[in-house]
Structure 1
Amino acid sequence: MSSSDNGARGIAPESVPDGEFDGKRVLVTGGSRGIGAAISHYLRERGARVATVARSQPPQNPSLPDLVIGDLTQPAEAERVSHAVLDRLGGIDIVVHSAGAATLSDEGVLSMGEHDWGVALETNLMAAVRVDRELIPAMKSQGSGAVVHISSIQRRFALGASVPYATSKAALTAYSKALAVEVAPYGVRVNSIAPGIVETEMSQNFADSLDDGKAELMGLFGGVPLGDVAKTTEVAELVGFLVSDRCPSIIGAEYAIDGGTMRSV
């Protein structure tokens, strides 16, 4: 399950204008690798100025532009980072929350302790809540903005090995829906995306912990009808659409990218 920036599926890059996001000021949390890196690249290539947040200098991309070092799981740090982003970009138009973390246990949910729950809830839920609280007021004041929360189909299909992760993503989706209703009258659009299995370092680590790797991982979800997992570029394409001016009436929605995994209506 090696990462790929150029999946065979998805919209061709030339199908949308290169400068679609010219002048847009963007923050992507978790933007130094995986899905977040693909989103950052997509928006930056189309004209946006994209700031990213990381806990430390990412060794795989040491020259990442507009990188802000900070730990969003800490309330004071989330506030400091948010203000640093506003100062550096001169405002904010788009926020994409892609930061995510999970711990795994073969012994089930009752074996998971405070650390497991803390990692999931602080990284996957509270980091987004804190950053939104600091940045969305600026969007409301200017009468426009777009926010996307990266959730997971695990919010509806919790695996025993990662229940805290699934729970935190369910909470993130509920929060995203409530926030969308609250800020829509101010011209701020909030939506969420629920990926299934995506080719990232996190999914690779999960697959490596299983006897049959990727095939077993897909089997845990009842199989993936498409026959393969999603690419990070597919998520980036959808984020690009949701934060663009092409869908002004899409508010409070959730989109799944899962190769047909979730079969419920």
Structure 2
Amino acid sequence: MEIKSNYNTELEGKIALVTGGTKGIGKAIAERLYQAGAVVIVTARNEPELENTKTHFIAADLTVANDVLKLEEQIAEKFGTIDILINNVGGLTTPGGGYKVLTDSHWENELELNLISAIRLDRTLLPKMQEKKSGVIIHISSVAGKQALWNLNLAYAVSKAALNSYSKALSTEVASDGIRVITVAPGATKTPPMLKFVEDFALSSGIKNEDAEKELMKHVGGVPMGRMAEPEEVADLVGFLVSPRASYLTGSIYAIDGGSLPVI
């Protein structure tokens, strides 16, 4: 089967939803899909500081079940259904220090944000994708899901590992319905939360930001490429995976980490 693509128009006629789409990786993905011709809806808890005329914003807190239902209603009313779902909402919200410092609340909040929110949204939007026998779902995970650092991101890493497993199982369940489900696992990426994490680590350790960044890279075994990823680099990978050029890809996890994972 020959597939010909114009990268500037290959998503024309497609409607995409990017969660957490106002900052960092989510914002870069929204921009990339727009450039490829898609109509892009972004959702986040709060409206972006600067209006973006390229995308359509709908406020929603995906850790709240009722907000997800309202989001689905607004999408159905304004756009009908979606073709591409980018589950990007997530983040590291728990303290470092290992199991002793993590309370039940820490674990529950991390799982709600990084796992349950994606499951909840998939469950809400998947039926219409199944009806039309097409769709692509991308779960934005993390290399932490394969390499947990007990003293930095234990609960976060566990939640992302669970997301990886869920995404793989879902891909198998819905493949026969014409729906592809793929996981993208970025490593350290220059997003506002990551830069804030580096800054806080530097402050608590009494070192400079650049030294804190180097120290964090050592924790993950080093980054052979010697730098963090730019959000646009992650977005370019996602742009390919949702395109017709990736039509035979599903169920896989794609790490984009500058070579940091010490495993095959």
Q: TM-score, normalised by structure 1?
A: 0.90
| Offset at residue 118 of structure 1 (A) | 2.7
The answer to whether the Cα contact below 8 Å between 1:49 and 1:89 also exists between their aligned partners in 2 is: no
Which residue of 173, 191, 207 corresponds with 2:182? 191
Tell me if the contact between 2:191 and 2:231 (Cα under 8 Å) persists in the aligned partners: yes
| 1:197 counterpart SS class | coil
Partner in structure 1 of residue 95 of structure 2: 105
In 1, Cα distance between equivalents of 2:191 and 2:215: 16
Q: Distance in 2 between matches of 1:261 and 1:240?
A: 22
Paired residue for 2:207?
none
Distance 1:38 1:54 in 2: 14
How far the C-alpha of 1:103 sits from its partner, in A, is: 1.9
Question: Conserved in 2, the CA contact under 8 Å of 1:194 and 1:257?
Answer: yes
Query: Contact 2:83 / 2:135 at 8 angstroms: preserved in 1?
Result: yes
Q: Aligned to 1:130, which of 113, 120, 128?
A: 120
Residues 201, 115 of structure 1: alpha-carbon distance in 2 compared, 3 angstrom cutoff? farther
Deviation at 1:64, TM superposition (A): 6.7
Aligned identity (percent) is 41
**CA distance in 2: counterparts of 1:23 and 1:96, whole angstroms:** 17
* Shift of residue 167, structure 1, vs aligned partner: 0.8
Decide whether the 8 Å contact of 2:94 with 2:155 is kept in 1.
Answer: no
Structure 2 residue aligned with 1:210: 201
Return the offset for 1:259.
Answer: 0.6
Equivalent position of 2:154 in the other structure: 163
- Structure 1 unaligned segments of length 5 or more: list them: 1-14
Cα pair distance change 1:113/1:48, threshold 3 Å? same
Q: Is the 8 A contact 1:109 1:161 kept in 2?
A: no
Cα distance in 2, alignment partners of residues 103 and 49 from structure 1: 31
Residue matched to 2:165: 174
Instruction: Give the 3 Å change call, closer, same or farther, for CA 238–62 of structure 1 in structure 2.
Output: closer
Q: Tell me which of 65, 87, 90 is aligned to 2:80.
A: 90
Using the TM superposition, give the Cα deviation of residue 202 of structure 1 relative to its aligned residue in structure 2, in angstroms: 1.5
1:38 match: 28
Aligned counterpart, 1:52:
42
Letter of the structure 2 residue corresponding to residue 225 of structure 1: P
Q: Which residue in the other structure is 1:255 paired with? A: 254
Q: Deviations over 1:206-231 (max 9, x none)?
A: 11122332111211101101111111
Runs of 4+ in 1 over 6 A off after TM superposition: none
Gaps of 5+ in 2: 203-210
Deviations 1:11-50 (A, max 9, x none): xxxx952111111010000111000000000001121111
Partner secondary structure for residue 58 of structure 2:
strand
* Secondary structure in structure 2 of the residue aligned to 1:199: coil
Answering whether residue 69 of structure 2 is matched by residue 79 of structure 1, we say: yes
The RMSD of aligned alpha carbons is 1.6
Give the aligned residue type for 2:230: K
CA distance in 2, matches of 1:162, 1:263: 17
Aligned mates of 2:159, 2:78 — CA distance in 1: 30
Compute the displacement of 1:78 (Å): 1.3
Letter in 2 for 1:115: S
In the alignment of these two chains, the number of paired residues is 251
SS at match of 1:161: coil
Partner of residue 10, structure 1: none
What is the TM-score normalised by the length of structure 2?
0.90
Q: Which residue of 2 aligns with 1:226?
A: 225
For 1:90, what is the secondary structure of its paired residue? coil
